[in-house]
C-alpha cells in the first residue's frame, strides 16, 4: 500500500497531539482543583456556576447587613431595658409618695430623684451605636432629642428632632426591615382616649370636639378687666377670651404650637387651674416633667389636691412604661425574625456553595486515573513510532 | 541490428525509471510532492509480411499520482480549519480578557461588589466610610468596563491590521500562482509535462486555502483559475489584486483593488478574521456597551432626582455637549417631557416647585438654559458646551420628586378660618399624578361628621379622609402611595379643595441624565464609563435621599433594586443574567468551534491518509521498484553483451 509510512507518521503525530491536549487539560484540572477554569470548559455548568457565585456574594452581603441590624437591635433592646428599669424606679417613687404622707421637703427630694431619672432617660434616648443614633428614625446623624433647661438647669422640655420615618433596610431579596426606631412613637403612647379632668377647680368641663393635646395639660382660667373668663393651656402664652366665643359648650383652647383642647366653658364659675389628662397620649419625658413639677408643687396645690392628683400619676407612669415595654417586644420580635432570617440566608448560602463545589470541583481521583491513562497512551505512541518508523525495506537490500 | 535497439530501448527505459525512483526518494519528505511513475509501453512492432516482431520498449509518459477529488476536498477542509482556528483564537482571547473563574477578580465580581456596596449604603446612607466604599466599588466597576471595552476595541484594530496583512499575503500567493500557470502552460503546450511546477502550484494553492476559502477551476494545459468568494483572483496567467476595507454599512471585507465594493468572505484565516471582526467582536463589543449603558442610564435616572446629605444645591454643571445641535440630534434619549425643579428659600424656608417643558426637536442646550434662567430664583447658562444651573442668592434648588410641604393649589370659601394643611412623605406611585382633595360636608377639624375625598388625575377616588370627630388635628393622615396630609385647628366648607402634585419622576424628558446634571456615572458605553469626579472629593454629594430631611435612604434603595430588575434595554434580563449569558455564550461559541475543529482535523487526517495512499512516496515501494529496474538494467546489459558476442562470432566466420 503506497504511502503507508507517511500515513503512519501522520497518524502517530495526530495521536500524540491529541494525547498532549488531553494531558494538558487534566494537568490544569489537577493544578487548580477545578473542573471548570473557563466558561468554554462547560458552558451550561459555567452559566449556573456564575449565577451561584453571584448569589453567594449577595447572600454574604445580606448576612453581614442582617448581623449589623441585629447588633443595632440588641443595643436598642438593652437601652430599652435600661429605660424600663428607670421607669419602674420612677413608678416606685410615685407609688411611695402617693400612698404615704410626705412633707414638702420630702416631696421635693423625690422630685429631684424623678429629675435624675429623667436626665438618665434623655441620655439613653440619645444613645449612639457605631456612629448612628438609635432612636432618630432615618436621621441617625444627629441626637434625636433636644433639651431645653431653665435657669436652674432643670429640663423644662424635651423635643424630638429626629425623623418620623424609620429606615428600611433590605435584609433579604424583597424583604425590607425597619431598624432604627423613631423616638416620637417609641416613647409616646398613641391610644388616645377622651380627656379627663383630674383636678377641677374652675367649673370647666371637657368639650365634645377631638382634642389634640397630649399627656397632662394645665388649663388656666383667668378673668380679664371686662369680667370675661380667659382660658389658656400654655401658661398664658396663648389666651382664648370667652367673651368672643359664641358656643361655650365646645371652646377650642389652642396653644402656641397649634394644639387644641376642647372645653365646655358654660359652667365655669371661678378662676384657677384645672388639670386635664388625656390617657393613651403620654409622652415619656413630658410625663416625668409633669410629675416632677407636681412633686415640686409648681402649681401651689393644697395637700388635698395633691392627694387627688398623685395617685393618677402612677397610672401615667404605668402607661409610658407599658409603651416602652411594647417597644421592647417589637425590637425583640424583629431580632427574632432577623435571627431566623439570618439562619435561612446562611442555609441558602451553604446550599449555593455546595452546588457550586459540585459543579466546579474536579474529581481528583478521576483526574489522576485519566492522567495516568493518557500518559501511558502517549508513551506507547512514542514507542510505536520509534519502532515502526525506523525500519524499511532499504535495511534489507544488500 | 534491431537487437541492439531493443536492448538500448530497455536500458534507456530502466535508466529513466531509476532516475524517477531516485527523484521520488529524494523528495519523499518534500511537502506537497506527488509521487511520479514512468509509464512504459511496447514500441511499435515491425511486420515482415508474415510475422510481427517487437522492437523494445517506449517511455509513454511520466505520470504524477494525483487524486483530484481528495485534493479538492483538502482545499475545502483547510479553508474551514483555517477559519475555525482563527475564530477560536480570538474567542479564547476574549474569554481570557473577561477573566471569569480566575482568582484575580472579574467583571461579575465587580458588578456584585458594586451592588453590595450600594446595599451597604442603603443601611448606612449618611456614613462617610460606606459612601467611600461605594464610590470605590463604582470606580472598580467602571475600570473593568473600560479595560474590557478597550481590549475589544484594540482587538478589532489588530484584526483589521491582520486582515490587511493577510490580504497582502493572498496577493503574493495569487501572483505566484499566476506565474506558475504561465510556466505550466508554456511547458505543456509544447508537449512536456510540468510535474514539478504543478507540485509547486498545488503547494501554493494549499497555502492559499489556509488563508482564505477558494474555488479552483481546471483549464487546458494545466492552467487553473482561482476565485475567492466569487471574486476571480487568478485567471490564467493574470492575478487580480485584492484590498480590504469597510462597506457603507461598516462591514469589514475585501474587494478587487479600486472597486470599492467590499464584501465579507468565508474560509481560511481571512474568513476567520472577518467573521471575528464583523460578527464576534462586533457582537460582544455591542453587548458590553449595552450593559454599560444600561447601568449608567438607570443609575443616573434615579441619581439625578435625589440629593446627598448636603441637601439641595446652589449650582450644578453638566458635561460637554454639542450646543449647536437640537437635543434630539445628540442621540442621548431625550424625549418630550417636563423638568420639575424644587426651589428652597433659605431665609423663609418656603419651598416651591418650578417647571420647564422640554421639546427635543426644537430645544437646544442654550434654549433650555434660557427657559431655566427665566424662572424666579434660578439662573442658567451654557459654558463651553456645559449646562450650568445656579440658584440666585438666598436660594437652593434640587430635583426631588417629594411633594411640597403645602398644597400646590388651594380653593377655599373662608381662608381666615382654614386650618394649616401640611403635606409630607415620599410618593411611591410609578407615574406622575395630581391628587385633588375635596371637602365633603365641611365643619371644624375634630368636630362633627365630615370628610375629604381624595381623587387622582383620572378622577378615581384614592381615599376618603375622616377629619371630623375622632381626627386629632395635626396628626398625619395616610392618603396612600406614601403621601400623608395633616390638618391643623380650623374649619373648612363643603366644596373647598386643594391639590398635591405627586411626582414619581421629576424629569420626564431625561434631560438631566443626558446633560450630566447631578449624575453619578459619566459616559455612554464601556470604554467611556466613569464615576463623575466630584464624588471622590465630596462623597456627601451621593444622592441617597429622596426625602426633604436629607437623611433617608429611599434613593439608595431605588438604585440598589436595579440589580434584580428586568431591564428592557437588556432584552428583559437583569444585569447579572445578561452578563452571565454574554460570558457563557462566548464559552458556547468556543465549544462549538472546538468541536468543529476536532471534526475538521479528523476529516483532514482521513484525507491526508487517502492522499498519502495515492500521492505520497512510500520508501518501501520505491525500494521494491528500484530492485525491479536494477535487475532489468543488469539483464539488458547482459543481453546486449550476448548480442555483441553473437555478432562477433558472425564476423569471425566472414573474415
Chain A: residue nearest B553 by CA?
A: A167
pLDDT of residue B541: 94
Write out B172-211 in H/E/C secondary structure: HHHHHHHHHHHHHHHHHHCCCCCHHHHHHHHHHHHHHHHH
Q: Is the pLDDT of residue A366 over 80?
A: yes
Q: What is the mean pLDDT of chain B?
A: 93
Q: Is the pLDDT of residue A5 over 70?
A: no
User: What is the sign of the dihedral through the CA atoms of A186, A191, A195 and A199?
Assistant: negative
Q: Answer whether B615 sits within 8 Å of A173, measured CB to CB.
A: no
- Of A163, A262, A393, which is closest to B620 when you measure between CB atoms? A393
Average pLDDT over residues A2-15: 72
Task: Give the model confidence (pLDDT) of A303-348 as tens digits.
Answer: 888 888 999 999 999 999 999 999 999 999 999 999 999 999 999 9
Name residues whose C-beta falls within 8 Å of residue B215's C-beta, 6 or more positions apart in sequence: B226, B227, B228
Task: Give the model confidence (pLDDT) of B304-331 as tens digits.
Answer: 999 999 899 999 999 999 988 999 999 8
Q: Is the pLDDT of residue A2 over 60?
A: no
Give A276 to chain B, closest Cα distance, Å.
17
Q: Which of B510, B505, B508 is nearest to B338 (CA)?
A: B508
Q: Output A101 or B348, whichever has higher pLDDT.
A: B348
Task: Give the model confidence (pLDDT) of A159-172 as tens digits.
Answer: 999 998 888 999 99
pLDDT of residue A1: 44
Identify the H or E element spanning B409: strand B409-411
Chain A: residue nearest B97 by CA?
A: A38
Task: Give the model confidence (pLDDT) of B113-148 as tens digits.
Answer: 999 999 999 999 989 999 999 999 999 999 999 999
Q: Any bridge partners for residue B424, and if so which? A: B484
Chain A: residue nearest B582 by CA?
A: A47
Given CB atoms, is A238 within the 8 Å cutoff of chain B? no
Q: Output A288 or B101, whichever has higher pLDDT.
A: A288
Q: Is the pLDDT of residue A3 over 60?
A: no
- The number of angstroms, rounded, from the C-alpha of A271 to the middle of its chain's C-alpha atoms is 48
Q: In chain A, which residue ranges form alpha helices assigned H by DSSP?
A: 4-32, 43-99, 104-125, 183-186, 284-296, 303-360, 364-389
Contact A268, A204 (CB under 8 A): yes
Given CB atoms, is A357 within the 8 Å cutoff of chain B? no
- Of B123, B472, B549, which is closest to A163 when you measure between CB atoms? B549
pLDDT of residue A383: 83
- Report chain A residues whose CB lies below 8 A from the CB of B444: 209, 252
- Report chain B residues whose CB lies below 8 A from the CB of A160: none
Q: Is the pLDDT of residue A107 over 80?
A: yes
Q: Best interface-test mutation with B: which of A7, A184, A362 has the largest number of B CBs within 10 A?
A: A7
User: pTM of the prediction?
Assistant: 0.88
Give B277 to chain A, closest Cα distance, Å.
20
Give A48 to chain B, closest Cα distance, Å.
9
Q: Answer whether A259 sits within 8 Å of B475, measured CB to CB.
A: no
Q: Is the pLDDT of residue B335 over 70?
A: yes
Chain A: residue nearest B601 by CA?
A: A14
CA angle, B443 as apex, B439 and B448 as ends, to 5°?
110
Given CB atoms, is A39 within the 8 Å cutoff of chain B? yes
Q: Is the pLDDT of residue A86 over 60?
A: yes
Quick check: helix, strand or coil at residue B491?
strand
Q: Best interface-test mutation with B: which of A20, A46, A192 has the largest number of B CBs within 10 A?
A: A46
- Report chain B residues whose CB lies below 8 A from the CB of A40: 91-92, 95, 586-588, 590-591, 594
Quick check: helix, strand or coil at residue B54?
coil
Q: Is the pLDDT of residue B43 over 60?
A: yes
Contact B353, B554 (CB under 8 A): no
- Report chain B residues whose CB lies below 8 A from the CB of A195: none
Give B332 to chain A, closest Cα distance, Å.
31
- CA–CA distances in Å: residue B217 to residues B101, B192, B236, B327, B649: 49, 21, 10, 58, 63
pLDDT of residue B153: 94
Residue identified by cell 377631638 is: A210
Name residues whose C-beta falls within 8 Å of residue A78's C-beta, 6 or more positions apart in sequence: none
User: How far is Cα A99 from Cα B365, in angstroms, rounded to an integer?
Assistant: 79
Q: Is the pLDDT of residue A264 over 50?
A: yes
- Of A2, A167, A262, which is closest to B616 when you measure between CB atoms? A2
Q: Is the pLDDT of residue A28 over 50?
A: yes
User: How far is Cα B123 from Cα A73, in angstroms, rounded to an integer?
Assistant: 13
Give A338 to chain B, closest Cα distance, Å.
15
Residue identified by cell 534507456 is: B12
pLDDT of residue B226: 96
Task: Give the model confidence (pLDDT) of A171-222 as tens digits.
Answer: 998 899 998 899 999 999 999 999 999 999 999 999 999 999 999 999 999 9
CA angle, A167 as apex, A161 and A170 as ends, to 5°?
175
Chain A: residue nearest B588 by CA?
A: A43
Per-residue pLDDT band for B283 (boundaries 50, 70, 90) equals: very high
Quick check: helix, strand or coil at residue B544?
coil
- Report chain A residues whose CB lies below 8 A from the CB of B486: none
User: How far is Cα B562 from Cα B575, in angstroms, rounded to an integer?
Assistant: 8
Given CB atoms, is A165 within the 8 Å cutoff of chain B? yes
Identify the H or E element spanning B425: strand B421-425
Give A54 to chain B, closest Cα distance, Å.
6
Residue identified by cell 445580606 is: A62
Quick check: helix, strand or coil at residue B218?
strand
Given CB atoms, is A128 within the 8 Å cutoff of chain B? no
- The number of angstroms, rounded, from the C-alpha of A56 to the middle of its chain's C-alpha atoms is 25
Quick check: helix, strand or coil at residue B386?
strand
Which backbone phi and psi does A46 adopt, to 5 degrees?
A: -60, -40
Q: Any bridge partners for residue B343, and if so which? A: B352, B397
Residue B533 CB-density burial (10 A; 0-12 exposed, 13-18 middle, 19+ buried):
exposed
Task: Give the model confidence (pLDDT) of B444-496 as tens digits.
Answer: 999 999 999 999 999 999 999 999 999 999 999 999 999 999 999 999 999 99
Q: Is the pLDDT of residue B351 over 80?
A: yes
User: How far is Cα B467 from Cα A160, in angstroms, rounded to an integer?
Assistant: 25
Per-residue pLDDT band for A15 (boundaries 50, 70, 90) equals: confident
Residue B491 CB-density burial (10 A; 0-12 exposed, 13-18 middle, 19+ buried):
buried
Per-residue pLDDT band for B598 (boundaries 50, 70, 90) equals: very high
DSSP count for chain B of H helices, then E strands: 13, 28
Q: Best interface-test mutation with A: which of B30, B104, B422, B551 has the largest number of A CBs within 10 A?
A: B551
pLDDT of residue A298: 86
Q: Output B216 or A104, whichever has higher pLDDT.
A: B216
User: How far is Cα B325 from Cα B365, in angstroms, rounded to an integer?
Assistant: 8
Residue identified by cell 562470432 is: B649
Strands (E) in B441-555, as ranges, are 442-444, 451-455, 461-466, 477-480, 483-487, 491-493, 497-502, 521-522, 530-531
Q: In B42-106, which residue ranges form alpha helices assigned H by DSSP?
A: 68-98
Task: Give the model confidence (pLDDT) of B59-92 as tens digits.
Answer: 888 888 899 999 999 999 999 999 999 999 999 9
pLDDT of residue A398: 65
Task: Give the model confidence (pLDDT) of B150-197 as tens digits.
Answer: 999 999 999 999 999 999 999 999 999 999 999 999 998 988 888 889
Amino acid at each position: 500500500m503506497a504511502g503507508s509510512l507517511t500515513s503512519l507518521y501522520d497518524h502517530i503525530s495526530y495521536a500524540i497531539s491529541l494525547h498532549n491536549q488531553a494531558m494538558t487539560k487534566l494537568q490544569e484540572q489537577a493544578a487548580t482543583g477545578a473542573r471548570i477554569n473557563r466558561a468554554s470548559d462547560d458552558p451550561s455548568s459555567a452559566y449556573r456556576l456564575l449565577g451561584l457565585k453571584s448569589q453567594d456574594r449577595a447572600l454574604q452581603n445580606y448576612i453581614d447587613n442582617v448581623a449589623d441590624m441585629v447588633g443595632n437591635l440588641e443595643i436598642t433592646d438593652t437601652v430599652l431595658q435600661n429605660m424600663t428599669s428607670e421607669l419602674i424606679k420612677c413608678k416606685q417613687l410615685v407609688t411611695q409618695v402617693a400612698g404615704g404622707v410626705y412633707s414638702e421637703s420630702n416631696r421635693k427630694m423625690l422630685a429631684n430623684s424623678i429629675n435624675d431619672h429623667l436626665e438618665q432617660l434623655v441620655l439613653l434616648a440619645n444613645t449612639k451605636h457605631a456612629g448612628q443614633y438609635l432612636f432618630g428614625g432615618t436621621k441617625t446623624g444627629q441626637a434625636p432629642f433636644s433639651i431645653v433647661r431653665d435657669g436652674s438647669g432643670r429640663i423644662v422640655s424635651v423635643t424630638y428632632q429626629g425623623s418620623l420615618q424609620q429606615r428600611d433596610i433590605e435584609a433579604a431579596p424583597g424583604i425590607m426591615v425597619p431598624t432604627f426606631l423613631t423616638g416620637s412613637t417609641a416613647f409616646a403612647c398613641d391610644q388616645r382616649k377622651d380627656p379627663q379632668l383630674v383636678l377641677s377647680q374652675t367649673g370647666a368641663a371637657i368639650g365634645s370636639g377631638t382634642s389634640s393635646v397630649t399627656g397632662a395639660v394645665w388649663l388656666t382660667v383667668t378673668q380679664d378687666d371686662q369680667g370675661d373668663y380667659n382660658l389658656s393651656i400654655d401658661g398664658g402664652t396663648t389666651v382664648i377670651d370667652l367673651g368672643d366665643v359664641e358656643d361655650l359648650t365646645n371652646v377650642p383652647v389652642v396653644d402656641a404650637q397649634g394644639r387644641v383642647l376642647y372645653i365646655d366653658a358654660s359652667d365655669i364659675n371661678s378662676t384657677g387651674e384645672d388639670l386635664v389628662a388625656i390617657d393613651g397620649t403620654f409622652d415619656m419625658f413630658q410625663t416625668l416633667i409633669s410629675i416632677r413639677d407636681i412633686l415640686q408643687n409648681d402649681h401651689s396645690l393644697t395637700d388635698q389636691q395633691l392627694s387627688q392628683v398623685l395617685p393618677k400619676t402612677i397610672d401615667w407612669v404605668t402607661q409610658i412604661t407599658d409603651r416602652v415595654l411594647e417597644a421592647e417586644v417589637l425590637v425583640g420580635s424583629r431580632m427574632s425574625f432577623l435571627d431566623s432570617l439570618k439562619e435561612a440566608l446562611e442555609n441558602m448560602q451553604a446550599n449555593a456553595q455546595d452546588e457550586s463545589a459540585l459543579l466546579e470541583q474536579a474529581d481528583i481521583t478521576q483526574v489522576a486515573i485519566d492522567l495516568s491513562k493518557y500518559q501511558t497512551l502517549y508513551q506507547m505512541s512514542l514507542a510505536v513510532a520509534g519502532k515502526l518508523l525506523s525500519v524499511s525495506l532499504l535495511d534489507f537490500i544488500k | 541490428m534491431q537487437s541492439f535497439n531493443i536492448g538500448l530501448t530497455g536500458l534507456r527505459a530502466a535508466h529513466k525509471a531509476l532516475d524517477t525512483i531516485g527523484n521520488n526518494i529524494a523528495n519523499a519528505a518534500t511537502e506537497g510532492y506527488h509521487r511520479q511513475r514512468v509509464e512504459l509501453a511496447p514500441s511499435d512492432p515491425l511486420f515482415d509480411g508474415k510475422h510481427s516482431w517487437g522492437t523494445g520498449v517506449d517511455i509513454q509518459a511520466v505520470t504524477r499520482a494525483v487524486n483530484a477529488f481528495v485534493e479538492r476536498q483538502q482545499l475545502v477542509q483547510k479553508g474551514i480549519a483555517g477559519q475555525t482556528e482563527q475564530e477560536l483564537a480570538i474567542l479564547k482571547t476574549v474569554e481570557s480578557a473577561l477573566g471569569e473563574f480566575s482568582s484575580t477578580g472579574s467583571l461579575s465580581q465587580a458588578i456584585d461588589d458594586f451592588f453590595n456596596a450600594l446595599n451597604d449604603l442603603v443601611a448606612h446612607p449618611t456614613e462617610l466610610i460606606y459612601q467611600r466604599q461605594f464610590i470605590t466599588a463604582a470606580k472598580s466597576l467602571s475600570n473593568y468596563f473600560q479595560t474590557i471595552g478597550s481590549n475589544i476595541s484594540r482587538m478589532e484594530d489588530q484584526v483589521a491590521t491582520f486582515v490587511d496583512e493577510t490580504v497582502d499575503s493572498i496577493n503574493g500567493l495569487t501572483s505566484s500562482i499566476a506565474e506558475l500557470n504561465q510556466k505550466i502552460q508554456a511547458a505543456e503546450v509544447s508537449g512536456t509535462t510540468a510535474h514539478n511546477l504543478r507540485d509547486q502550484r498545488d503547494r501554493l494553492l494549499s497555502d492559499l486555502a489556509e488563508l482564505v476559502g477558494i474555488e479552483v477551476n481546471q483549464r487546458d494545459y494545466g492552467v487553473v483559475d482561482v476565485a475567492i468568494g466569487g471574486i476571480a483572483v487568478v485567471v490564467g496567467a493574470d492575478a487580480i489584486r485584492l484590498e480590504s476595507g469597510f462597506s457603507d454599512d461598516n462591514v469589514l471585507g475585501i474587494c478587487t483593488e479600486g472597486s470599492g465594493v467590499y464584501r465579507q468572505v468565508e474560509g481560511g484565516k481571512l474568513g476567520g478574521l472577518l467573521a471575528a471582526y464583523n460578527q464576534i467582536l462586533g457582537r460582544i463589543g455591542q453587548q458590553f456597551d449595552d450593559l454599560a449603558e444600561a447601568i449608567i442610564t438607570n443609575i443616573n435616572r434615579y441619581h439625578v432626582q435625589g440629593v446627598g446629605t448636603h441637601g439641595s444645591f446652589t449650582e450644578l454643571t453638566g458635561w460637554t455637549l454639542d450646543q449647536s445641535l437640537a437635543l434630539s440630534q445628540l442621540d442621548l434619549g431625550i424625549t418630550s417631557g417636563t423638568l420639575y425643579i424644587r426651589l428652597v428659600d433659605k431665609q423663609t424656608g418656603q419651598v416651591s416647585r418650578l417647571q420647564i417643558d422640554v421639546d427635543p426637536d426644537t430645544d437646544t442646550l442654550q434654549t433650555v438654559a434660557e427657559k431655566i434662567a427665566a424662572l424666579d430664583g434660578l439662573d442658567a447658562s451654557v459654558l463651553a458646551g456645559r449646562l450650568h444651573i445656579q440658584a440666585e442668592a438666598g436660594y437652593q434648588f434640587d430635583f426631588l420628586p417629594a411633594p411640597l410641604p403645602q398644597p400646590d393649589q388651594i380653593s377655599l370659601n373662608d381662608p381666615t378660618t382654614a386650618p394649616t394643611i401640611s403635606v409630607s412623605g415620599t410618593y411611591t406611585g410609578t407615574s406622575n399624578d395630581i391628587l385633588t382633595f375635596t371637602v365633603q360636608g365641611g365643619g371644624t377639624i375634630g368636630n362633627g361628621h365630615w370628610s375629604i375625598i381624595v381623587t387622582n388625575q383620572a378622577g378615581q377616588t384614592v381615599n376618603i379622609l375622616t377629619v371630623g370627630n375622632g381626627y386629632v388635628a395635626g396628626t398625619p393622615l395616610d392618603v396612600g402611595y406614601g403621601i400623608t396630609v395633616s390638618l391643623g385647628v380650623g374649619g373648612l366648607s363643603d366644596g373647598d379643595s386643594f391639590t398635591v402634585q405627586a411626582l414619581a419622576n421629576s424629569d420626564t424628558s431625561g434631560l438631566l441624565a443626558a446633560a450630566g446634571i447631578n449624575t453619578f456615572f459619566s459616559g455612554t458605553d464601556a470604554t467611556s464609563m466613569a464615576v463623575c469626579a466630584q464624588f471622590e472629593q465630596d462623597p456627601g454629594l451621593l444622592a441617597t435621599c429622596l426625602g426633604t430631611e436629607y437623611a433617608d435612604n429611599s434613593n439608595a434603595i431605588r438604585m440598589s433594586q436595579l440589580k434584580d430588575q428586568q431591564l428592557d434595554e437588556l432584552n428583559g434580563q437583569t444585569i447579572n443574567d445578561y452578563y452571565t449569558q454574554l460570558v457563557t455564550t462566548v464559552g458556547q461559541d468556543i465549544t462549538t468551534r472546538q468541536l468543529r475543529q476536532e471534526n475538521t482535523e479528523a476529516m483532514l487526517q482521513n484525507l491526508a491518509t487517502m492522499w498519502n495512499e495515492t500521492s505520497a512516496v512510500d520508501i518501501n515501494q520505491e525500494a521494491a521498484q528500484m530492485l525491479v529496474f536494477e535487475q532489468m538494467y543488469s539483464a539488458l546489459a547482459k543481453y546486449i553483451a550476448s548480442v555483441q558476442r553473437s555478432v562477433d562470432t558472425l564476423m569471425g566466420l566472414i573474415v
